[in-house]
Amino acid sequence: MVANIGYYALVITFLASLYGAGAAAYGALKRRPEFVESGRYAMLLTWPLLTVASVAIIWLLATGHYEIGFVASVTSNAMPTYLKVTALWGGQEGSLVFWAWLMAAFTSAASLRKWDRDRELLPWFIMVTMITLAFFVSLTVFFENPFARLWLSADGQQVAAMLQPKGAVPLNPLDGRGLNPLLRHPGMIIHPPTLYLGFVAYVIPYAFAMAALITRRSDDRWIRITRRWTLVAWIFLSIGLILGGRWAYDVLGWGGYWGWDPVEIAALLPWLAGTAFLHSVMVQEKKGMLKHWNVVLIILTYALVLFGTFLSRSGVLSSVHAFAKSAIGPMFFVFIGVTFIVSLSLLINRWEMLKGENFLTSMFSREALFLLNNFLFMGILVVSFWGVIFPLISELITGQKITVGPPFYERANGPLGLGLLVLMAIAPLSAYASSTWKTIGRALWKPALVSLLVPITLYFGEIRNPIALLGYTSAALVALVTLYEFWRGTMARRRRHGENLPLALWRLVGRNRRRYGGYVIHLGVVLMALGIIGIEVYQTETQATLTRGEQVTLGRYVMTYDDLSVFDTNDGRNVARAVVSVYQDGKLVDELYPRKDYYYDSQQAVTIPGTRSTLADDFYVILVGLDPDSRSDATFKVYHNPLVNLIWIGGVVFSLGAIVAIWVDRDRRRASKTSSTSRITRA
């Protein structure tokens, strides 16, 4: 009964989405506002319907209805309730419903705004978002049905279908296969939802951009309307990527925060395009420039959101993050191609009307530096995109699988990332239109001079690697320039208003949250850059097979293998847990417990490292395997990861800056409303 209700909710949602798109477009073309309003009501109906479908899935997951194919594939009796609930997005079918549910929530929220000044955009906004929603819901209705029941066919095959196949009998297993062990982690609660929120929220600015093109609006109104949506999308996607890095560090046993896995990169690509867009739109708002470029960027971001979803769900890539092979791959490919071609065709058709109001007058102006910033982001995007699709192209042409490993990405993207870091130091000191190298030089020389103390100090501290010295110096320059900007603004406000330092700083940030929130984000990036340089340049590792009592040395650390125990747990695992002692400079500093957990339900194992963390470094131990003969000898892989925890600290600072940037400024909102009211009154 519950499964039927959930499935019918999906079917009605699909029909409502198609009706909403068609009614809105018809109303706009025929100048029939009642049809547009009808389309909007259909849009608002999709979220309650998808809520019914989502609640139905969660109920089936939590109560162990293993007669439902999706439930049997992602849950088991041994799983705790919180993991059964999060299994909604842990499997193919449920994740598509969750994607659609978020999409319906965001589009409904966006449609509830006041449309008085933008009434002509509404029908096309509805059409674009409802077409996207209809596509995702169609995948669950026709291909990946989360409510399909299990049946045993006459020839003994297990099949999933809503209706009973001829000659088949119902199948009701006593237990399910359970979630992939790599996903049985508290990160499952927040990491996938934050990524999905970032992905879905980018549909909103894309829909407004398409609506502006269709209605021939050449102003930047669509950018101002979607500014907060763009920030929301970017923030969630950023946090999702950081949380994913932490999760990988804790569970995957890579020994690092990022493995350049294809599906990891697929999530990074829309972030790169979205970050370029976030910087570029500021130029259009201030100077009326880069209109063509901004539309290209938001089309590209939307396409990459779909591409990333396609890669993880089509089965074309082998990845720990990807779902199994599925019939939806061709559908995704066609939808991405059609929407991309239609969007670009519309842009080309409206090209002349999007001419900029100003031109670049200085290569050192802020708009020129922001454009260079965009080119660097696009460079990283192109390199990363090529690394993902090259194995697919190679296999298609030659029939051989080729793997593009981390060295390719690091060597190609490292210099581009360094260029972005340097630009973060220069751009805040530039001005729109009028900056020259002399004006920037006058503002930059003091922080630059102080930053030179960093490589000198590090060199005498026996850090001689040129890449590290260059990276640390650049990061120091960004930090000094950013802090200098805070200092200059605070002191100016203190002189002007007679406020004490803390109050002046608080009100400075409060009066321009977007700017100073961005500066806090830059400080978070600096911390993350320091951590990345530390682990990328100075990470060391070793591997050894030890008998109890034997040691392995890595730098200043010595690890002794003390003991090993193998036991079953109450939640359906077989655990092999080692006990190791860690010594630094001859002194016992920690005892770690690396282990391997084998899950009986899924018949898969997961490696959980033992980690000693300090601000300076991590000592990271992986239990690779056991000797089946001795039952006591064990093989360990050991990493020393300098400064890696600055990545996570930087992620927290980064997130705080993003919150500051997006925080609603009530004073300005009131001022804006007052100004609008006075203009209406005068009119």
Q: How confident is the model at residue 314 (pLDDT cuts 50, 70, 90)?
A: low
Mean pLDDT within 128-150: 95
Decide which of 682 and 423 is more confident: 423
CA 25, CA 35: separation in Å to the nearest integer? 8
Q: Two tokens at 606?
A: 């997961």
Number of C-alpha atoms within 13 angstroms, CB side, residue 537? 18
Parse the chain into domains and list their residue ranges: 1-179, 540-645
Of the chain, the end-to-end C-alpha distance in Å amounts to 60
CA 196, CA 185: separation in Å to the nearest integer? 18
Of 355, 412, 358, the C-alpha closest to 380 is 412
pLDDT of residue 269: 96
Task: Give 386: exposed, middle or buried? Use CB within 10 Å, 0-12, 13-18, 19+.
Answer: middle
Q: How confident is the model at residue 281 (pLDDT cuts 50, 70, 90)?
A: very high
189: number of Cβ within 10 Å? 12
Q: How confident is the model at residue 680 (pLDDT cuts 50, 70, 90)?
A: very low
Q: How confident is the model at residue 316 (pLDDT cuts 50, 70, 90)?
A: low
User: What residues have CB less than 8 Å from 525, skipping those under 6 apart?
Assistant: 421, 424, 478, 650, 654
Q: Is the pLDDT at 138 greater than 70, yes or no? A: yes
Mean pLDDT within 74-87: 91
Mean pLDDT within 123-145: 96
Q: Are 185 and 47 in contact (CB under 8 A)?
A: no
Element (H, E) at 638: strand 634-642
pLDDT of residue 230: 93
Q: Two tokens at 477?
A: 């320059």
Q: Which amino acid is at 468?
A: A
Q: Is the pLDDT at 677 greater than 50, yes or no? A: no
Q: Is the pLDDT at 679 greater than 50, yes or no? A: no
Summarize pLDDT for 188-225 with one digit per residue, the tens. 888 889 999 999 999 999 999 999 999 999 888 899 99
Which of 343-347, 440-444, 635-639 comes out lowest in average pLDDT?
440-444
SS3 683: coil
Mean pLDDT comparison of 76-80, 95-99, 115-119, 427-431, highest-scoring range: 95-99
Per-chain mean pLDDT for the chain: 89
Q: Are 649 and 527 in contact (CB under 8 A)?
A: yes
Q: Are 522 and 482 in contact (CB under 8 A)?
A: yes
372: number of Cβ within 10 Å? 16
